[in-house]
A and B are shown apart, each in its own frame.
Chain A
Amino acid sequence: GQNIDQPTEMTATEGAIVQINCTYQTSGFNGLFWYQQHAGEAPTFLSYNVLDGLEEKGRFSSFLSRSKGYSYLLLKELQMKDSASYLCAVRDQNQGGKLIFGQGTELSVKP
């Protein structure tokens, strides 16, 4: 089966850097996604990793290590609007069209 673990909640200060970790166990890993979700709204796509290494997109970066079953999302220069839930999701090639989501990490950015 699949198992995805993320911290339930984190707190950080405006202007700082925060790293949100995600570990996964899956039989046929074939890609990892990060989504941002503000309360009551739809998830929006942030990043995608399928090979090991770092993907950078402005203030957001995502890292993947397939051998360790580990990813992180790095948010730099935090802004108040970054307060949201961050969802890690894994694509498993043995599961056809399924995308398995973690429970999400609730990030609170404080002044």
Chain B
Amino acid sequence: EAQVTQNPRYLITVTGKKLTVTCSQNMNHEYMSWYRQDPGLGLRQIYYSMNVEVTDKGDVPEGYKVSRKEKRNFPLILESPSPNQTSLYFCASSVRQGDIIYEQYFGPGTRLTVT
């Protein structure tokens, strides 16, 4: 089954404790992206990747890191989480042709709470 998976689905952590949210897709998509979703603010892009070893900042990259060592995986790293990073996070992937990104397939989401 074609899908995007994320782990963990739920996480409660404390300020400053490094964490990684994994994302994996089995559709051989070149493009992958991370979003956070907050009430009243909608979906905002954190980072995206057009291909292996190619990553770029989205609209809200501060406090986050990503890596793309393999095509299928795109982990999101919070080196020192803070309470303002409490949010619902989605990973997504899609087909890419040049600069054209087609419809994105989203993972199930990770609900993160930082206390």
The reply to whether A87 and B43 contact each other, CB–CB distance below 8 Å, is yes
A1 to chain B: closest CB distance in Å?
10
Are A97 and B90 within 8 A (Cβ)?
Answer: no
Query: What is the interface of chain B, defined by CB distance below 8 A to chain A?
Result: 31, 33, 35, 40-45, 48-50, 56, 58-59, 90, 96, 99-109
In the bound complex, do residue A97 and residue B42 qualify as a contact, i.e. CB atoms below 8 Å apart? no
Q: How large is the interface on A (under 10, 10 to 19, 20 to 34, 35 or more residues)?
A: 20 to 34
Out of A45, A93, A102, name the residue touching B104 (CB < 8 Å). A45
Tell whether, in the assembled complex, residue B41 and residue A99 are in contact, meaning their CB atoms are under 8 Å apart.
no
Interface residues of A in 39-64 (CB under 8 A from B): 40-45, 48
Instruction: Please state if B103 and A43 are interface contacts (CB–CB under 8 Å).
Output: no
Please tell me if the beta carbons of B42 and A42 are within 8 angstroms of each other in the complex.
no
Q: Are A91 and B42 in contact (CB under 8 A)?
A: no
Cα–Cα, bound, A93→B107 (Å): 25
Residues of chain B within 8 A (CB-CB) of A45 are 103-105
A42 and B108 contacting across the interface, CB-CB below 8 Å = yes
Taking the nearest CB of chain A, how far is it from the CB of B92, in angstroms?
8
Residues of A near B43 (CB, < 8 A) are: 43, 87, 89, 101
* CB under 8 Å from chain B, chain A span 83-111: 87, 89, 91, 93, 96-104
